[in-house]
């Protein structure tokens, strides 16, 4: 049955809303396929406004991979701003895709990519607007399969009631596998309806279907057991790992935004995974092992991507881009190739060493040397040992001195507040470090216009990391420490004016903490917040701590907000995500947590022997790094 475009009904409403262009679609490289010729149709969502969601690499990659396949169609949808939401409700217009303005409810799969848990309420808005029942249990054969992916899907338990399924890890291969399961089931005449389709997905071992698992609780509120409730459903569901990134050189045709977005550049992921072992970093832990894209594939992706999109900036993405085994040759090769053109190169890297300055110099040849960013993350030497960020203050000072000597005038430093074992003096040490940075800059250059900006984020303990057992620091303590740091810098007559300080208050981190380490009972809180008007919780102008607090009080029984956040867990406690396998050995994680408390560091297994974190044998993977020895040749003069 054909599906009509909603645009004729939507268009008259657009003059009345903010940034109407974000709903129009038709971007360069977007794709509209014939509805009737497709057997399997995906609606892909990034649950935030277009300006944040459109540049998301994960969604762009899956969109392109799916649309390249015959008989498969994929379109994108983003969160509508509250002004349009109100009008859509008034005029009965459902959640639509931006590509062909088709109703999301008509697709086979509604796939939502979560980079952050603060997008959960936006998912509920989209489901409700789409006419899809909020609870998976209330859906019929006529509704899409609601599927979550992205980093937050490594603990989908707080949204388990709203999901039909979740996938962990790299999406490239699994979206195609899911597509085939759906195609076959439809070809066979949809035997057994929705339930049978979900069983087929669950039995495949690569898709988590929450309804096929029962959770039981102990009288004190902890989980007793999570067990499959159907034969053939695996006890644990494993993440997916794409081993050869060269085989998946996406995006080939990057989408060019119509409205202003947070990133307007062509981004190439130069490797996936990170084994530096920063204990706070969920992304590093769940994406192991390191898999590099080869220098030649990177070169050809940059060339094709720029040609297809017209972008003038290339970003080399990864969790720590300067760690690519051939980054020096990549930087020089690209800088040579694009020197004298309008194309600029950027390396959003945070490694603290002088080599990074060499790279930054390559990338800014002939351009302005405005700011460089480093992430020591912890203010004191002790704190950095706890979090396994192996950077000494002397390393940092040497690095920034080189930066200032090379013409850079502004250095940005990232830190976290509220880390496990943190004391007031660890946070105040940030001020000492910033002062040393300014002093070193002034000495190296003889100039007074040296600046240092300190940005501080609140630490949130995350699943599948050594800190998954840690007590989160309460927001009052975080706020008090940050105020003390601010006062110290303000009182400093000599250096204070050269140091900028940016931080947010601690309340949103507590809610992120609730959603990150929550279990299925937290779903009631999310729904209550959404029913009370909660939207766009990642935006400070919309976020309401008081609303989350009062909804948590009303919706939770026997446990509370503090129980989920500031409570330390012991080794034997069953964690809500223990049945979801990121490959990390639980005993190794626990040992690493003990090492953190003992301030013992662990090396990077790229350069030292494997220390058995468990990922490679469990996932049948291996560290995959160069050098390949190849050069970025022949150079095409642009
Ligand atoms: S299993 Fe060994 S080599 Fe693989 S990521 Fe873990 S520590 Fe590194």
Mean pLDDT value of segment 238-263: 94
Q: 335 alpha carbon to ligand 1 midpoint, in Å?
A: 33
Q: For ligand 1, is residue 289 a contact (CB within 6 Å)?
A: yes
Please check the confidence at residue 635 and state whether its pLDDT lies above 60: no
Residue 434 binned pLDDT confidence (cut-offs 50, 70, 90): very high
Residue 81 binned pLDDT confidence (cut-offs 50, 70, 90): very high
Ligand 1 pocket test, pick from 323, 613, 624, 625 with the greatest ligand atom count within 8 Å of Cβ, gives 613
Please check the confidence at residue 370 and state whether its pLDDT lies above 80: no
Tokens of 264: 């307007």
Mean pLDDT value of segment 23-41: 97
Q: For ligand 1, is residue 290 a contact (CB within 6 Å)?
A: no
Q: For ligand 1, is residue 227 a contact (CB within 6 Å)?
A: no
Q: For ligand 1, is residue 275 a contact (CB within 6 Å)?
A: yes
Residue 291: helix, strand or coil by DSSP? strand
Residue 384 binned pLDDT confidence (cut-offs 50, 70, 90): very high
Q: Tell me the sheet residues that pair with 147.
A: 111, 165
Q: For ligand 1, is residue 318 a contact (CB within 6 Å)?
A: no
Please check the confidence at residue 213 and state whether its pLDDT lies above 50: yes
Q: For ligand 1, is residue 588 a contact (CB within 6 Å)?
A: no
Q: 622 alpha carbon to ligand 1 midpoint, in Å?
A: 7
* CA 41/CA 236 separation, integer angstroms: 28
List, for residues 318-364, the tens digit of each pLDDT value. Answer: 988 888 999 989 988 998 888 888 888 887 766 777 667 777 777 77
Q: For ligand 1, is residue 462 a contact (CB within 6 Å)?
A: no
Ligand 1 pocket test, pick from 288, 588, 607 with the greatest ligand atom count within 8 Å of Cβ, gives 288
DSSP collapsed to 3 states, 3-15: CCCCHHHHHHHHH
Q: For ligand 1, is residue 584 a contact (CB within 6 Å)?
A: no
Q: 289 alpha carbon to ligand 1 midpoint, in Å?
A: 7
Beta-strand pair 271-272/291-292: antiparallel
**Which protein residue's CA is at the shortest distance from atom 1 of ligand 1?**
616
Please check the confidence at residue 135 and state whether its pLDDT lies above 80: yes
Neighbours of 144 (CB within 10 A): 21
* CA 75/CA 54 separation, integer angstroms: 12
Neighbours of 609 (CB within 10 A): 7
- Percent of the chain at pLDDT exceeding 70: 97
Q: 543 alpha carbon to ligand 1 midpoint, in Å?
A: 39
List, for residues 97-115, the tens digit of each pLDDT value. Answer: 999 999 999 999 999 999 9
What lies within 8 Å, CB to CB, of 615 at 6+ separation is: 288, 289, 582, 583, 584, 621
Residue 202 binned pLDDT confidence (cut-offs 50, 70, 90): very high
**Which protein residue's CA is at the shortest distance from atom 6 of ligand 1?**
613
Q: 606 alpha carbon to ligand 1 midpoint, in Å?
A: 8
Residue 107, Cβ density class (10 Å: 0-12 exposed, 13-18 middle, ≥19 buried): buried
pLDDT for the residue 349: 60
pLDDT for the residue 357: 74
List, for residues 144-198, the tens digit of each pLDDT value. Answer: 999 999 999 999 999 999 999 999 999 999 999 999 999 999 999 999 999 999 9
pLDDT for the residue 367: 64
* CA 24/CA 27 separation, integer angstroms: 9
Mean pLDDT value of segment 415-431: 97
**Which protein residue's CA is at the shortest distance from atom 5 of ligand 1?**
289
pLDDT for the residue 238: 96
pLDDT for the residue 627: 86
Residue 421 binned pLDDT confidence (cut-offs 50, 70, 90): very high
Where does residue 354 fall: left (phi above 0), alpha (psi -120 to 50 degrees), or beta otherwise? alpha
Mean pLDDT value of segment 192-207: 95
- Percent of the chain at pLDDT exceeding 90: 82
Please check the confidence at residue 566 and state whether its pLDDT lies above 90: yes
Q: For ligand 1, is residue 274 a contact (CB within 6 Å)?
A: no
Among 11-25, 60-74, 215-229, 346-360, the least confident range: 346-360
Neighbours of 5 (CB within 10 A): 16
Mean pLDDT value of segment 238-261: 95
List, for residues 496-520, the tens digit of each pLDDT value. Answer: 999 999 998 899 999 999 999 999 9
Residue 634 binned pLDDT confidence (cut-offs 50, 70, 90): very low
Contact 358, 328 (CB under 8 A): yes
Ligand 1 pocket test, pick from 281, 611, 619 with the greatest ligand atom count within 8 Å of Cβ, gives 611
Q: For ligand 1, is residue 616 a contact (CB within 6 Å)?
A: yes
């Amino acid at each position: 049955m054909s599906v009509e475009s909603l645009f004729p009904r939507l268009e008259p409403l657009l003059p009345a809303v903010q940034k109407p262009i974000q709903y129009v679609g038709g971007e360069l490289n977007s794709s509209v396929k014939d509805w009737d010729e497709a057997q399997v149709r995906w609606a892909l969502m990034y649950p935030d406004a277009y300006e944040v969601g459109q540049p998301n690499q994960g969604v762009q990659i899956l969109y392109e991979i799916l649309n390249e396949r015959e008989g498969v169609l994929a379109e994108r949808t983003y969160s509508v701003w509250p002004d349009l939401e109100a009008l859509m409700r008034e005029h009965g217009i459902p959640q639509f895709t931006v590509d062909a303005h088709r109703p999301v409810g008509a697709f086979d799969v509604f796939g939502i990519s979560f980079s952050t848990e603060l997008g959960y309420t936006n998912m509920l808005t989209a489901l409700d607007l789409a006419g899809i029942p909020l609870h998976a249990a209330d859906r019929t054969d006529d509704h899409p399969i609601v599927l979550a992916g992205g980093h937050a899907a490594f603990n989908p338990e707080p949204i388990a009631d709203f999901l039909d399924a979740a996938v962990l890890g790299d999406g490239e291969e699994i979206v195609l596998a899911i597509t085939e399961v759906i195609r076959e089931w439809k070809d066979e005449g949809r035997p057994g309806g929705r339930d049978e389709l979900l069983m087929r997905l669950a039995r495949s071992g690569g898709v988590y279907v929450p309804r096929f698992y029962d959770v039981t609780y102990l009288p004190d509120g902890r989980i007793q057991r999570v067990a499959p409730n159907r034969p053939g459903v695996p006890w644990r569901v494993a993440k997916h790992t794409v081993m050869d990134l060269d085989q998946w050189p996406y995006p080939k045709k990057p989408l060019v935004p119509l409205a202003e977005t947070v990133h307007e550049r062509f981004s190439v992921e130069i490797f996936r995974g990170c084994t530096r072992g920063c204990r706070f970093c969920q992304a590093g832990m769940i994406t192991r092992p390191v898999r590099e894209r080869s220098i030649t594939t990177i070169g050809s992706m940059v060339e094709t991507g720029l040609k297809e999109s017209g972008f003038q900036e290339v970003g080399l993405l990864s969790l720590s881009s300067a760690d690519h085994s051939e980054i020096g040759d990549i930087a020089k090769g690209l800088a040579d190739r694009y020197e004298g053109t309008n194309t600029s190169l950027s390396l959003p890297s945070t490694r603290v060493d002088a080599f990074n300055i060499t790279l930054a110099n390559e990338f800014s040849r002939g351009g302005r040397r405005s700011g460089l960013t480093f992430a020591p993350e912890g203010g004191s030497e002790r704190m950095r040992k706890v979090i396994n960020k192996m950077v000494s203050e002397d390393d940092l000072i040497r690095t920034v001195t080189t930066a200032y000597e090379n013409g850079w005038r502004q250095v940005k430093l990232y830190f976290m507040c509220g880390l496990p074992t943190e004391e007031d003096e660890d946070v105040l040490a940030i001020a000492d470090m910033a002062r040393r940075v300014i002093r070193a800059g002034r000495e190296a250059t003889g100039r007074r216009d040296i600046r240092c900006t300190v940005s501080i984020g609140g630490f949130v303990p995350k699943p599948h990391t050594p800190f998954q057992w840690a007590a989160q620091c309460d927001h009052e303590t975080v706020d008090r420490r940050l105020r003390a740091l601010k006062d110290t810098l303000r009182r400093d007559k000599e250096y204070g004016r050269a140091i900028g300080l940016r931080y947010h208050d601690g309340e949103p981190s507590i809610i992120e903490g609730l959603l990150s380490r929550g279990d299925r009972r937290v779903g009631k809180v999310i729904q209550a917040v959404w029913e009370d008007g909660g939207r766009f919780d990642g935006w400070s102008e919309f976020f309401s701590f008081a609303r989350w607090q009062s909804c948590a009080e009303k919706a939770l029984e026997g446990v509370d907000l503090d129980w989920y956040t500031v409570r330390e867990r012991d080794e034997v406690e069953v964690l809500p995500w223990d049945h979801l396998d990121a490959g990390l050995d639980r005993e190794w994680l626990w040992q690493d947590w003990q090492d953190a408390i003992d301030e013992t560091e662990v090396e990077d297994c790229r350069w030292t022997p494997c220390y058995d974190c468990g990922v490679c044998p469990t996932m049948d993977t291996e560290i995959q790094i160069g050098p390949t020895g190849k050069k970025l040749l022949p150079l095409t003069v642009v």
